[in-house]
Structure 1
Amino acid sequence: MEPRDRLPEKALLLGDEESNAPSPKDRHQSPGVRLVAILVGGLLLLLVGLAHVRPGSLRSFSLLGCLKGHHKTPHHSKSDVCLTPACIHASSEFLYNLSPDYQQIDPCTDFEELVCGGWRDRHDLRPDQGDAFTGTIMAESSELLLRHILEAPYPDSSTHSYFSPAQLDPASGSVDKDNFDKLKAAYDACLDEDTIREIGVAPLVEILDEISSRFSVARHPHSADNEDLSETVLYLAKLGVSALVSSGTGADDKDPDTVVVSVSAPYRIGLPAKELYLDEKIVERYETVVSQVISALNLSSIHETADAHALVEFEKKLAAASPDAEDRDDVTKYYNPTSLAEAERLTPQLHLSKILKSLVPSDYDLDRVIVMAPEYLKDLANLLDETSEDTLRAYFLWKAIQAYASYVEADAITPYRRFSNELQGKDPDSKPERWRTCVGHVDDGLGWLLSRFFVETAFSAKAKEFGDRIVSDIKDQFIEKLKATEWMEQEVIDLAIRKVHNIVQKIGYPDKSPNILDPDSLYRYYERVNINSSAFFENAVSMTQLEVAREWSALGKPVDRDQWDMTVPTVNAYYNPPGNEIVFPAGIMQFPVFDVNVPEYVSYGAFGSVSGHELSHAFDSTGRHYDQNGNFTDWWTEKTVANFKERAECFVQQYSNFTVDGADNKPLHVNGRLTLGENIADAGGLSASFAAWKKRAAKSPNQDLPGLDFFTQEQLFFVSYSNWWCGKTRKETAIQRIFTDPHAPKWARILGTMANSREFKESFHCKPKEPVCELW
Structure 2
Amino acid sequence: MNENSELLLRHILDAPYPRDSQHSYFSPMNLLATKKSADEENFDKMKAAYDACLDEDKVRNLGTGPLLQVLDEIKKTYPVDDSANLEDAILLLAKYGVSALVTAGTGADDRDPDTVVVSVSAPWSFGLPSKERYEDEKLVEKYRAVVVEVLDSIYPEEYKDAYSKVIDLEKKLAAASPPTEDREDVTKYYNPMPIDEAANLTTQVNLKSLIQGLTPGNVDVGRVIVMTPDYQKELSSIISETEAKVLQSYFIWKAVQSFSGYIEADAIKPYKRFTNELVGKDPDSTPERWRRCVGHIDDGLGWFLSRFFVEKAFSAEAKEFGDTIINDIKAEFAKKLKAATWVDKATSKKAIDKVHNIVQKIGYPTKSPDIMDPSDLKEYYSSVNISTDTFFANALSVRQFAVGDGWSALGKPVDRDQWGMTVPTVNAYYNPPGNEIVFPAGIMQFPVFDVDVPAYMSYGAFGSVAGHELSHAFDSTGRHYDQIGNYTDWWSNDTVKAFEKRAECFVDQYANYTVPGPDDKPLHVNGRLTLGENIADAGGLSASFQAWKRRAHKKPNQDLPGLDHFTQDQLFFVTYSNWWCGKTRMETAIQRIYTDPHAPKWARILGTMANSREFRESFKCKEKKPTCQLW
Q: Please tell me the TM-score bracket, short chain as reference.
A: over 0.9
Secondary structure of the corresponding residue to residue 204 of structure 2:
helix
Secondary structure of the corresponding residue to residue 305 of structure 2:
helix
1:348 aligned residue: 203
1:233 aligned residue: 90
1:57 aligned residue: none
1:116-131 residue pairs with structure 2 within 5 A? none
Distance 2:531 2:313 in 1: 35
Cα offset, 1:162, TM superposition = 9.2
Contact 1:305 1:390 in 2 (8 A): no
The CA deviation string for residues 451-504 of structure 1, in whole angstroms up to 9 with x for no partner, is 000001111111011001100110000001111110000000000000001000
1:277 aligned residue: 134
Contact 1:572 1:588 in 2 (8 A): yes
Secondary structure of the corresponding residue to residue 326 of structure 2:
helix
Contact 1:288 1:308 in 2 (8 A): no
2:304 aligned residue: 449
Contact 2:537 2:608 in 1 (8 A): yes
Distance 1:758 1:344 in 2: 52
- Write the letter of the residue equivalent to 2:391: F
Distance 2:361 2:142 in 1: 45
Change over 3 Å in CA distance of 1:165–1:278 after alignment to 2: farther
Cα offset, 1:193, TM superposition = 0.6
2:531 aligned residue: 676
Distance 2:121 2:27 in 1: 41
Cα offset, 1:160, TM superposition = 4.7
Cα offset, 1:280, TM superposition = 1.4
Greater Rg over alpha carbons, structure: 1
Distance 1:217 1:720 in 2: 60
- Write the letter of the residue equivalent to 2:466: S
1:530-549 residue pairs with structure 2 within 5 A? 530-549=385-404
- Write the letter of the residue equivalent to 1:209: D
Distance 1:206 1:305 in 2: 21
Secondary structure of the corresponding residue to residue 174 of structure 1:
helix
Among 50, 74, 79, the residue aligned to 1:211? 74
The CA deviation string for residues 485-526 of structure 1, in whole angstroms up to 9 with x for no partner, is 100000000000000010000001001111111111100000
Among 215, 226, 251, the residue aligned to 1:371? 226
Distance 1:676 1:392 in 2: 37
Cα offset, 1:163, TM superposition = 13
Among 296, 302, 307, the residue aligned to 2:153? 296
1:713 aligned residue: 568
Secondary structure of the corresponding residue to residue 257 of structure 2:
helix
Among 262, 275, 279, the residue aligned to 2:119? 262
Distance 1:180 1:691 in 2: 44
1:192 aligned residue: 55
1:182 aligned residue: 45
Distance 2:309 2:592 in 1: 30
Residue 142 of structure 1 pairs with residue 1 of structure 2: no
Distance 2:447 2:327 in 1: 21
1:591-670 residue pairs with structure 2 within 5 A? 591-670=446-525
| Structure 2: stretches of 5+ with no match in the other structure | none
Residue 735 of structure 1 pairs with residue 590 of structure 2: yes
| Structure 1: stretches of 5+ with no match in the other structure | 1-137, 221-225
The CA deviation string for residues 581-639 of structure 1, in whole angstroms up to 9 with x for no partner, is 00000000011221111110000000000000000000000000001110000000000
2:626 aligned residue: 771
Change over 3 Å in CA distance of 1:703–1:173 after alignment to 2: closer
2:558 aligned residue: 703
- Write the letter of the residue equivalent to 1:740: T
Instruction: Name whichever of 160-169 and 453-462 sits farther off.
Output: 160-169
1:46 aligned residue: none
Please give the TM-score of this superposition, normalised by the length of structure 2.
0.98
Distance 1:506 1:169 in 2: 29
Cα offset, 1:534, TM superposition = 1.1
Change over 3 Å in CA distance of 1:463–1:165 after alignment to 2: farther
Cα offset, 1:216, TM superposition = 2.4
1:133 aligned residue: none
Among 326, 336, 340, the residue aligned to 1:485? 340
Contact 1:166 1:455 in 2 (8 A): no
- Write the letter of the residue equivalent to 1:545: Q
Secondary structure of the corresponding residue to residue 115 of structure 2:
strand
Secondary structure of the corresponding residue to residue 549 of structure 1:
helix
Contact 1:164 1:460 in 2 (8 A): no
Distance 2:276 2:22 in 1: 41
Distance 2:486 2:332 in 1: 24
Q: Which has the higher contact order (CA 8 A, sep 6+)?
A: 1
1:473 aligned residue: 328
The CA deviation string for residues 634-669 of structure 1, in whole angstroms up to 9 with x for no partner, is 000000000000000000000000000001211100
Cα offset, 1:304, TM superposition = 3.6
Contact 1:336 1:372 in 2 (8 A): yes
Contact 2:116 2:413 in 1 (8 A): yes
Among 406, 419, 423, the residue aligned to 1:551? 406
The CA deviation string for residues 394-428 of structure 1, in whole angstroms up to 9 with x for no partner, is 10000000000100010000000000000100010
The CA deviation string for residues 654-700 of structure 1, in whole angstroms up to 9 with x for no partner, is 00000000012111000000000000000000000000000000011
Residue 496 of structure 1 pairs with residue 359 of structure 2: no
1:337-486 residue pairs with structure 2 within 5 A? 337-486=192-341
Change over 3 Å in CA distance of 1:712–1:165 after alignment to 2: farther
Cα offset, 1:166, TM superposition = 14
Secondary structure of the corresponding residue to residue 236 of structure 1:
helix
Distance 1:437 1:249 in 2: 28
Secondary structure of the corresponding residue to residue 320 of structure 2:
helix
- Write the letter of the residue equivalent to 2:524: H
- Write the letter of the residue equivalent to 2:50: Y
- Write the letter of the residue equivalent to 2:38: V
Change over 3 Å in CA distance of 1:166–1:595 after alignment to 2: farther
Q: Give percent identity, aligned residues only.
A: 66
Distance 1:707 1:403 in 2: 51
- Write the letter of the residue equivalent to 1:216: P
Distance 1:666 1:775 in 2: 32
Residue 250 of structure 1 pairs with residue 107 of structure 2: yes
Cα offset, 1:142, TM superposition = 1.0
Distance 1:593 1:317 in 2: 46
Change over 3 Å in CA distance of 1:169–1:308 after alignment to 2: farther
Cα offset, 1:164, TM superposition = 12
1:501-512 residue pairs with structure 2 within 5 A? 501-512=356-367
Cα offset, 1:357, TM superposition = 1.1
Distance 2:246 2:78 in 1: 12
Distance 1:482 1:423 in 2: 43
Contact 2:35 2:374 in 1 (8 A): no
RMSD: 1.7
- Write the letter of the residue equivalent to 1:629: I
Distance 1:345 1:227 in 2: 19
Change over 3 Å in CA distance of 1:379–1:150 after alignment to 2: same
Distance 2:266 2:27 in 1: 47
- Write the letter of the residue equivalent to 1:474: I
Distance 2:32 2:466 in 1: 34
- Write the letter of the residue equivalent to 1:269: F
Change over 3 Å in CA distance of 1:446–1:741 after alignment to 2: same
Distance 2:229 2:614 in 1: 45
Contact 2:202 2:232 in 1 (8 A): yes
Secondary structure of the corresponding residue to residue 348 of structure 1:
coil
Distance 1:387 1:530 in 2: 38
Cα offset, 1:141, TM superposition = 1.1
Among 169, 176, 185, the residue aligned to 1:314? 169
Cα offset, 1:278, TM superposition = 1.1
- Write the letter of the residue equivalent to 1:472: N
Cα offset, 1:275, TM superposition = 1.1
Cα offset, 1:169, TM superposition = 6.0
Secondary structure of the corresponding residue to residue 578 of structure 1:
coil
Distance 1:385 1:198 in 2: 41
